[in-house]
Amino acid sequence: MSQNDLDKRIAEAQAKIDARERPKYMAAGKGMGLGFRMASDFAAAVIVGALLGWGLDALFGWTPWGLLSGLMLGFVAGVRNVVATASKANLADNNTGEGPGT
């Protein structure tokens, strides 16, 4: 058996293993991406709510009620965004049979 034959057999075996293992790695990557998206959506909503509340405090002198209200509204909006994203991802998983949980 020559070196070229051995290299060819190794490459074929590696290709079979990669084809079998690739879906597992891809599913993990999709799940991680979805998790980062949810985290950034939540953080952005809370930050925007806090900034709007702080702006209302500065504009109308409602300190600290504007900031507290903005934080609460931002938290609610962030949770709503995360739930909506999770619902869409779950619906897509159920329809295709693929996704982060597969």
Please provide the DSSP assignment of 20-63 as one string. Answer: HHHHHHHHHHHHHHHHHHHHHHHHHHHHHHHHHHHHHHHHH--T
- Tens-place pLDDT, residues 32-58: 889 999 999 999 999 999 999 999 999
pLDDT of 87 higher than 80: yes
pLDDT value at residue 46: 98
DSSP conformational letter for 99: S
pLDDT of 81 higher than 80: yes
pLDDT of 5 higher than 70: yes
- Tens-place pLDDT, residues 57-72: 999 999 999 999 999 9
Q: Which residues contact 31 (CB under 8 A, 6 or more apart)?
A: 99, 100, 101
User: Is 18 or 25 the better-scoring residue by pLDDT?
Assistant: 18
